[in-house]
Amino acid sequence: MNVSLNDKKLLFLGPFILWAVATVFFNLPTLCEDTFTAAKFLIAALISVYLSWFVGRWLIIGVRQTYPGLEKIRQRLITLGILSLPAVVVLVIQRLLFFDYFVYDNEPKFDWFHSETLFMVGLNLFYLAIIFAVYESRYFFRQWLISKRQTEELSRANLEMQLDSLKNQVQPHFLFNSLNTLQALVKSNENKTAVRFIGDLSQVYRYLLQSNEQQLISLEKELEFTHAYFGLLKTRFEDGISLEVNVDPIFRHAQIPPLTLQLLVENAVKHNMVSTSKPLNIKIFTTLNGDLVIQNNLQCKPNNSMPSSKKGLMNIASKYALLRQPHVQIYEKEDIFEVRVPLIGDWGMKEAKVKS
């Protein structure tokens, strides 16, 4: 993982400001006492601050590669604290050598066990603490802005998906077909089937209206809704459509964006012929690596009056992208159309807890 700090201005101005502050608060008494070496002292101190800044920056890059993201800020700070100790030793040694052989070249003032060595240790720790605080605060703020923007985009995508599904279900042709099916059931005195149809219809609308309240939903609940939606399709098309669900129980706690299955089932019905002579077979199953597969036989409608805009598929793909999940995979073969969506969550861990 490449880490870009985007800190050109900060890299130039930061050490200079830190040097000015340290000079005023820590080194002013020394400058007043040793006026003859003041220029050399200031130059050496400035170079030392720049070296400290580059060392701190190098540590920030290395640690951020290992522990990226807002959720790992604690690990980054602990690691930086540990790494700063050997870094301070190196910085103090270079500062002692620099001051001995450049600032006080005629009359060395410092030795390895001088009392001011401890002061230099504290000063370099102060430098590194400021450097870490500056870079981590910039990183936190930028990641917070990115996270906020992604949350807003995800919320918008979720609303768009819910609105699209709701629009499809309240379109005149859907209501017309549903009412015609219900009327036929009533006329043929199939009261039990009619009651079941009304129950499925109410469950579909209730789920559609409530689905915008959460970004993810359990696969178990999504499958319950899909069975209700398929019940409407089955009542209408009878033997012209079938649904085969083969989901491993270990995945029942996994999560997916709401309406994912409904949109994919609806997409299959919308763009394929559905009849008793040419039944549409839809399969939903899971793979060992945690993918949910929605598959149907491909029998496109001739002169399809509803060309695919792929908006539903694009909505699903964009939601997975905003959730920082693996990509949705779409495969179209000669006689099979297949969509693979990754299951989200620690479903394996939850299953283990249930078994224990």
Which of 149, 184, 218 is where one domain is finished? Answer: 149
Residue 208 sits in the same domain as residue 102: no
- In this prediction, residue 356 carries a pLDDT of 41
Interior angle at CA 218, CA 213 and CA 220, nearest 5: 125
Helix (H) or strand (E) holding 342: strand 336-342
Which of 149, 184, 199 is where one domain is finished? Answer: 149
Distance CA 318, CA 341 (A): 12
- The reply to whether the predicted model has a pTM over 0.95 is no
Residue 155 lies in a domain: no
Residue ranges making up the domain that contains 110: 8-149
Q: What are phi and psi of 135, to 5 degrees?
A: -70, -40
Residue 231 lies in a domain: yes
- How many domains does one find in the chain? 2
Which of 88, 119, 149 is where one domain is finished? Answer: 149
136-145 — which CB contacts under 8 Å span 24+ positions?
136/60, 136/73, 136/76, 136/77, 138/7, 138/10, 139/64, 140/70, 140/73, 143/69, 143/70, 144/70
Nearest to 331 by CA among 342, 318, 340: 340
Q: What is the pLDDT along the chain (356 residues), one digit of tens a residue?
A: 566 777 888 888 888 888 888 877 776 666 666 555 677 777 878 888 888 889 988 998 888 888 887 778 888 889 988 998 899 888 888 877 777 767 666 665 555 566 677 778 888 888 899 999 998 888 888 888 877 777 777 666 666 665 555 445 444 445 445 555 655 655 565 566 666 766 666 666 667 666 656 778 899 989 988 888 888 888 888 899 999 999 999 998 899 988 889 889 988 988 888 989 999 999 999 998 889 999 999 988 776 555 555 777 887 887 788 777 888 999 988 889 999 999 998 655 445 444 44
Q: Number of C-alpha atoms within 13 angstroms, CB side, residue 200?
A: 22
Nearest to 86 by CA among 45, 124, 134, 47: 124
- In this prediction, residue 69 carries a pLDDT of 78
Residue 251 sits in the same domain as residue 115: no
Residue 47 sits in the same domain as residue 176: no
């689905």: which residue's tokens? Answer: 211
- In this prediction, residue 323 carries a pLDDT of 77
Over residues 282-306, the pLDDT tens digits come to: 999 999 888 999 999 998 877 655 5
Nearest to 80 by CA among 92, 91, 64, 68: 64
Contact between 239 and 201 (Cβ < 8 Å): no
Helix (H) or strand (E) holding 256: strand 255-256
Contact between 18 and 49 (Cβ < 8 Å): yes
Over residues 325-352, the pLDDT tens digits come to: 888 999 988 889 999 999 998 655 445 4
Residue 140 sits in the same domain as residue 213: no
Distance CA 198, CA 27 (A): 83
Distance CA 299, CA 269 (A): 10
Query: Domain containing 185 — which CATH number?
Result: 3.30.565.10
